[in-house]
């Protein structure tokens, strides 16, 4: 995920979440409040937000909403790495302190399964003053929509993943277009690194433990035909496909990645690429603006964007190797002012707010169809708009595990990857051990 989504997560927060996630909430996910109309009930609400530019945009525009509705909104922000533990602590206590929380769909589905958050469709039907559900770009609303039609989150921003590569270096070293297979990816990394005498490494990716490494690795897992679970729902991170993917991933980073890649998080990886240190990277679509910012990037104007390569013989299917991760606002089942809370949620995801985000921030992941495909977006993000839309359309909602066991799976898998990348264990042994740990803790 981008900057803070699966981008800023740490194993500590995930471990906390893993401990708290099984705590059962109340009721059936509809909470104690019924759907109200108009958002004119006044009062005050408290919202927990991610510490990101989208939140800054909402906070700057908030006085307009408060004046219009009479609702006082208190926004608290925390780093993403601390967010999961904080939210689950409140939910586990059935606390009404936070009326709304903002986090990604990996957690959101677990919150809904535990009845910690509400179905929003009654509120959306009663109050379409700021936004209606059919205005959202469908791929972004899908992760918060159940099979029976419940919608439990309003998307604020989302992302997929893609391959970013240096077009100038590819031209210089005679590489004909972006690699389409993992073999071509490895060859391209080798060609640039050897051709530059090691001045530019072949590829950079996140390698830090936990979600940081799991996020890009999950694309490789699927490139080789693997998945987190088999057809029977049994954990499958030690499958032959997963082992092969891990061997490829670790070879790629050890042989053609930057020094210290085993500790790279999203920001360190982004800097390594934008400062010209690597020929390629695989990361979130949210990275696009940072690549193209001439004041901060030495590679602006020389970056190409393409789909993540598949292993030879593999073809894209439903099990695509590009992510679809969405960060949304969720309405607490314990809120004492749910109508006002929903009014804020719908305003914060409205066209007015999202259009301002595009104008003033790095808002690649806006979620309304009208904004995402609008002229202002195209003018600002034309270098990669087509690639972003293409990846979103094929994005894999199940790219990462979700639900109540997601935290345990990500923590254990990330730890295994760390031991492989450091050379402490081979891929087969590390993944077998992680799979056993996950099965013991979750029964998966």
Same domain membership, residue 108 and residue 239: no
CATH number (domain holding residue 207):
3.40.190.10
Same domain membership, residue 166 and residue 155: no
Where does residue 333 rank: exposed (0-12), middle (13-18), buried (19+ CB within 10 A)?
buried
SS3 assignment, position 331? strand
Q: Return the pLDDT at 2.
A: 52
Q: Return the pLDDT at 19.
A: 30
- Quick one: which of 377, 402, 306, 427 has its CA closest to 14? 402
Residue 267 lies in a domain: yes
Please give the tally of structural domains in the chain.
2
Same domain membership, residue 309 and residue 173: yes
pLDDT tens track of the chain, all 444 residues? 554 333 333 233 333 333 333 332 333 333 333 343 444 458 999 999 998 999 999 999 999 999 999 999 999 998 877 888 899 999 999 999 999 999 988 789 889 999 999 999 999 999 999 999 999 999 999 889 999 999 999 999 999 999 999 999 999 999 999 999 999 999 999 999 999 999 999 999 999 998 899 999 999 999 999 999 999 999 999 999 999 999 999 999 999 999 999 999 999 999 999 999 999 999 999 999 999 999 999 999 999 999 999 999 998 888 899 999 899 999 999 999 999 999 999 999 999 999 999 999 989 999 999 999 999 999 999 999 999 999 999 999 889 998 778 889 999 999 999 999 999 999 999 999 999 999 999 986
What b/e sequence results for 255-293 when a residue is b if at least 16 CB atoms lie within 10 Å of its CB, and e otherwise? Answer: ebbbeebbebbbebbbebbbebbbbbbbbbbbbbbbbbe
- Quick one: which of 167, 206, 400, 181 has its CA closest to 307? 181
Cβ–Cβ under 8 Å, residues 207 and 261: yes
Length of the chain: 444
Same domain membership, residue 82 and residue 69: yes
- Quick one: which of 246, 290, 248 has its CA closest to 266? 290
Same domain membership, residue 269 and residue 333: no
The backbone region for 276, taken as left when phi is positive above 0, alpha when psi lies in -120 to 50, beta otherwise, is left
Where does residue 26 rank: exposed (0-12), middle (13-18), buried (19+ CB within 10 A)?
middle
Domain span at 415: 161-321+405-442
Cβ–Cβ under 8 Å, residues 344 and 73: yes
- Quick one: which of 399, 416, 403, 396 has its CA closest to 238? 416
Cβ–Cβ under 8 Å, residues 288 and 364: yes
Q: Return the pLDDT at 1.
A: 53
For the question of whether the overall pTM of this predicted structure is more than 0.85, the answer is no
DSSP string covering 254-318, please? HHHSPTTGGG--HHHHHHHHHTT-BSEEEEEGGGHHHHH-TTT-TTTT-EEEEPPPBPTT----S
Residue 376 lies in a domain: yes
Q: Return the pLDDT at 18.
A: 34
Cβ–Cβ under 8 Å, residues 206 and 216: yes
Residue 363 lies in a domain: yes
Neighbour tally for 80: CB within 10 Å: 25
Q: What's the DSSP call for residue 34?
A: P
Same domain membership, residue 141 and residue 33: yes
Q: Return the pLDDT at 136.
A: 97
Same domain membership, residue 221 and residue 208: yes
Same domain membership, residue 238 and residue 212: yes
Same domain membership, residue 273 and residue 287: yes
Question: How far, in Å, CA of 91 to CA of 107, rounded?
Answer: 12
Same domain membership, residue 270 and residue 135: no
Q: Return the pLDDT at 68.
A: 96
Q: Return the pLDDT at 85.
A: 86
Residue 262 lies in a domain: yes
Same domain membership, residue 230 and residue 101: no
Same domain membership, residue 410 and residue 266: yes
Residue 400 lies in a domain: no
Q: Return the pLDDT at 315.
A: 87
Residue 399 lies in a domain: no
Alpha carbon distances (Å) from 365 to 2, 195, 394: 9, 36, 15
Residues near 67 by beta carbon (within 8 Å), at least 6 away in sequence: none
């Amino acid at each position: 995920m981008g900057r803070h989504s699966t981008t800023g997560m740490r194993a500590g927060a995930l471990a906390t979440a893993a401990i708290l996630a099984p705590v059962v909430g109340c009721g059936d996910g509809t909470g104690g409040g019924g759907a109200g109309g108009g958002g004119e009930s006044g009062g005050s609400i408290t919202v927990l937000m991610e510490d990101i530019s989208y939140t800054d945009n909402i906070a700057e525009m908030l006085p307009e909403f408060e004046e219009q509705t009479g609702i006082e909104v208190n926004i608290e922000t925390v780093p993403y790495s601390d967010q999961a533990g904080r939210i689950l602590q409140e939910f586990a206590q059935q606390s009404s302190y936070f009326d709304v929380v903002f986090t990604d769909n990996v957690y959101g589905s677990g919150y809904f399964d535990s009845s910690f958050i509400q179905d929003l469709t009654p509120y959306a039907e009663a109050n379409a003053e700021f936004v209606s559900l059919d205005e959202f770009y469908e791929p972004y609303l899908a992760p918060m929509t159940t099979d029976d039609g419940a919608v439990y989150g309003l998307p604020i921003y989302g992302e997929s993943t893609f391959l970013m590569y240096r077009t100038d270096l590819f031209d210089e070293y005679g590489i004909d277009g972006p690699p389409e297979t993992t073999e071509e990816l490895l060859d391209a990394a080798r060609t640039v690194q050897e051709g530059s005498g090691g001045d530019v490494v072949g590829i950079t990716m996140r390698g830090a433990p936990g979600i940081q490494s799991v996020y890009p690795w999950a694309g490789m897992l699927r490139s080789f035909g693997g998945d987190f679970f088999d057809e029977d729902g049994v954990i499958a991170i030690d499958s032959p496909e997963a082992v092969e993917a891990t061997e490829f991933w670790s070879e790629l980073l050890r042989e053609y990645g930057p020094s210290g890649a085993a500790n790279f998080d999203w920001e360190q990886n982004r800097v390594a690429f934008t400062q010209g240190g690597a020929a390629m990277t695989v990361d979130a679509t949210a990275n696009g603006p940072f690549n193209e910012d001439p004041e901060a990037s030495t590679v602006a104007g020389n970056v190409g964007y393409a789909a993540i390569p598949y292993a030879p013989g593999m073809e894209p299917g439903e099990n695509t190797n590009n992510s679809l991760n969405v960060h949304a606002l969720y309405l607490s089942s314990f809120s004492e002012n749910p109508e006002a809370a929903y009014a804020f949620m719908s305003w914060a995801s409205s066209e007015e707010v999202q259009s301002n985000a595009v104008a003033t921030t790095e808002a690649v992941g806006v979620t309304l169809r009208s904004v995402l495909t609008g002229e202002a977006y195209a003018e600002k993000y034309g270098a990669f708009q087509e690639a972003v839309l293409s990846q979103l359309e094929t994005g894999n909602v199940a790219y990462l595990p979700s639900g109540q066991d997601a935290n345990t799976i990500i923590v254990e898998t990330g730890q295994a990857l760390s031991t492989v990348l450091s050379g402490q264990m081979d891929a087969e042994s590390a993944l077998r051990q992680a799979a056993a740990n996950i099965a013991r803790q979750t029964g998966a």
